[in-house]
Amino acid sequence: MGLVKLPRMTRAEIVKLIKEQMICRIAFRGEKSPYIAPFQYTFAGRHLYFHFTNYGRKLKLLNQNEPVCVEIEKTTSDMSEYAFIAIIGKLRIVEDPKERAKVIEKMAYEGKKKLSENFLAAHGFRTEDGWSSLSPEKPLIIVKLERITEYVGLKSHRISL
């Protein structure tokens, strides 16, 4: 019996999956063991952007400037169809005010359109304050994935992207 390999996704399929989804996981090289955390992301231009809260382990790991792995997936509830991508690169805090504002506005718009306000707690905000909590006027930490060294996208044999 031979080994079955999953088909690789085309670049167009990878971009489509990134645009369709909003939640990813980022794996960091931790001090004693790997650390993985979920994030809402937005895709602007050719980059993935994330909001980091100003506390906790993630920010400390970000400051170590180590490579990370970003994982994005799409599945059916019974896993009969699935696709996932893994992207290895480095994260950098966005310093440019215009770029930062554009990303925050896009992230808030997409969140309001597609996610429950209950998800705001993952950003460190109170649910009752709504998606306007994500505002360029607030001192939010926006991070950009860049210096990509590797990426792969694999899919089930039957998924339509």
Q: Where are the domains of the chain?
A: 11-155
Task: Give 11-155's CATH code, choosing from 1.10.357.10, 2.30.110.10, 1.10.1660.10, 1.20.1260.10.
Answer: 2.30.110.10
pLDDT digits (tens, 9 = 90+) for 62-87: 888 899 999 999 988 888 889 999 99
Residues 66, 18: Cα–Cα separation, whole Å: 23
The parts of the chain modelled with pLDDT lower than 70 are 1, 158-161
Kindly report the pTM of this predicted structure. Answer: 0.89
The pLDDT value recorded for residue 159 is 64
Residues 21, 32: Cα–Cα separation, whole Å: 31
Burial of residue 62 (number of CB atoms within 10 Å: 0-12, 13-18, 19+): buried
The pLDDT value recorded for residue 160 is 66
